[in-house]
Structure 1
């Protein structure tokens, strides 16, 4: 496996950009997390948001990792709870002219790239992502220039500028299939930014890959030794792991997959107890959809150890009901992507969407042919 190391210390951000320095560390992000409202305040905020969404012809899309209130409210008002790309695709296809994205900045940018004619708002524009922060465009462009013979694949968790530099965008649900297809064509891959996800894909496909050295602060903290101990405490439990986790954690999994794959596995597997190695924001949807099953969080720190995320993204936690009310009333916190940049960033996204659409059509045709043959 070929690895290029470009280290970024998330808790010591580049302070040359004073506007973002305050939110480039987990410490500062946690300090920005709003106080939980009282039950009375929560009910009043939800009622206000429902009215504002209707009055503003807006639809709300929320990621699986944000607060349960924001997930429930999105679904109650005709919106969506999903992963980042499905959020953007839903927003593109919805009739509403205003999209309210509860998540982190790259999700709002992706929604704007796919819906440039629409207004995209976020509860807090400072809600970012360690993978996005750890892949600045100037350094990434230099990395690409150093490997001109490689096809550039970037993960969804990147800025619009990084997407614009890529040949393909991928998500954790389609990355394996796209890399396999490119490998079959003899292409060599430059992968960014998550080294764990890239390593997993390389192990599964055998593709010739070089990696940017980024990591998600949530998944990077899952610990294999402690996970093994938790498995011994619950010997019948199935372990569901997101591939952004370290290799020794992935090796302990019964299922490795995206957030959607984890949801499907929890629903379909013949088990009652599960250990989940992804952001604990997923627990709300898992427990809602599987009320008779038990879910445990995978460990993020051992004895006397500390964690930066403790299985939850601090930037996701910055999203709040009060922030939604503010952005809908005031209309600020709007996501802007320069049009020329948006066009460049859209190309790798559309390439991925075309690939996955063609794949679904082929699978459907195969299923139909198998059915006709059986008949």
Structure 2
């Protein structure tokens, strides 16, 4: 299988940014999200996630880095568990003890209570979640602290608190005759620990793309309406599939009074959507689907629900990363499948099922630029530290934040996907 990094180098004209193929340490210290990031991403100020990698590891060959990783894993044994998200690069995912989406990995970490250290090959909010759910004596490591998430950064604590105050002033705080609260906050997993704690404090819950429908049902049982953040597309696509009319899903822009809405719009709202998005999934378009159907008669198309609503409507199916994988597994040899999600996962599925034609809807090789910050060099450095008795890049969520966030996360874990 040709790795995504190799594809970026071999086909520079078809890559969103050939700089992605370089070692992440070359741009970890720069402002913003680095090469490959969408120009549509609104970069909050400041983004403080400095990456660091000693020069010796920057100069090591791939062979030496992989030898160090294997040796450290063998030495650490059952004391170590490595979690890898589906979107992680192949050079790193090969060392994961568990591979999955955010819901699966949140559960996987709980199955290793005897492990002393959880190394999360993903992004910052995932490592925070692992720390919240871990036992007090367990350590959680994010190999590269610069691995953030632009979507998560689109909803900050101050902006959400200000929105909440406006909504409570409008709706009041008294439940209706059925005991339902005026509004229930729901945050997507792709958010900071502080926002998960906000939901825990205010009767809300966390969701993933796997269980978003179950979570919205949970919220509607308890509330007259939902504030859904930070991803507008997952919220819209999920609520629409449940029968909520589009006119009852106003968008909240935190930079505008009342989020840019009228009082009447908010009074009739069932789901208030935050103005956030994933830059990877925003790349997919109806034109790409039409092109795939024209060039591959009989193609089956599945996209991630973080994609825009017209794309989800035009596809044959939509689902979480785990659902996409199950869709491919359920297909037949000879099938042609176009997938609208991150290129590392699509590339891996194509290699795993060579008797099918599997390709990414977006012809441009463009991985998640922040997930791509996890490189074998950082993994080798953090594991070497553990062998030497040093914990590097530990993620620690403050106790007061973790307590409230855990309430919302445990509600999420109990809301099983359909």
TM tier, shorter chain?
0.7 to 0.9
| Superposed displacement of residue 85, structure 1 | 2.8
The answer for the alignment partner of 1:62 in structure 2 is 84
Which stretches in structure 2 are left out of the alignment for 5+ residues? 1-37, 169-181, 245-269, 386-390
User: TM-score, normalised to structure 1's length?
Assistant: 0.80
Among candidates 314, 318, 336, match of residue 369 of structure 2:
314
Q: Is the 8 A contact 2:103 2:210 kept in 1?
A: no
Q: Is the 8 A contact 2:231 2:277 kept in 1?
A: yes
Which stretches in structure 1 are left out of the alignment for 5+ residues? 1-7, 24-31, 302-309, 361-375
Q: Is the 8 A contact 1:278 1:311 kept in 2?
A: no
Matched residue SS, 2:73: helix
| Superposed displacement of residue 259, structure 1 | 0.3
| Superposed displacement of residue 140, structure 1 | 1.1
Q: Is the 8 A contact 2:131 2:397 kept in 1?
A: yes
Among candidates 317, 322, 326, match of residue 381 of structure 2:
326
Q: Is the 8 A contact 1:240 1:277 kept in 2?
A: yes
The answer for the alignment partner of 2:345 in structure 1 is 282
The answer for the alignment partner of 2:217 in structure 1 is 180
Among candidates 226, 232, 237, match of residue 189 of structure 1:
226
Matched residue SS, 2:302: strand
The answer for the alignment partner of 2:62 in structure 1 is 42
d(CA) in 2 for partners of 1:190, 1:41: 48
Query: Is 1:263 the equivalent of 2:325?
Result: yes
**Runs (4+) of structure 1 moved beyond 6 Å?**
none
| Superposed displacement of residue 89, structure 1 | 2.0
The answer for the alignment partner of 2:125 in structure 1 is 106
d(CA) in 2 for partners of 1:220, 1:18: 22
Query: RMSD across aligned C-alpha pairs, in angstroms?
Result: 2.7
The answer for the alignment partner of 2:335 in structure 1 is 272
Query: Is 1:152 the equivalent of 2:185?
Result: yes
Deviations 1:209-261 (A, max 9, x none): 00111000000111211321122101121101000001111112111100010
Matched residue SS, 2:327: helix
Among candidates 327, 330, 336, match of residue 396 of structure 2:
336
Q: Is the 8 A contact 1:124 1:323 kept in 2?
A: yes
User: TM-score, normalised to structure 2's length?
Assistant: 0.72
d(CA) in 2 for partners of 1:141, 1:300: 40
Q: Is the 8 A contact 1:154 1:168 kept in 2?
A: yes
d(CA) in 1 for partners of 2:406, 2:318: 28
Matched residue SS, 1:350: helix
Among candidates 205, 218, 233, match of residue 168 of structure 1:
205
Q: Is the 8 A contact 1:85 1:110 kept in 2?
A: no
Among candidates 138, 141, 166, match of residue 121 of structure 1:
141
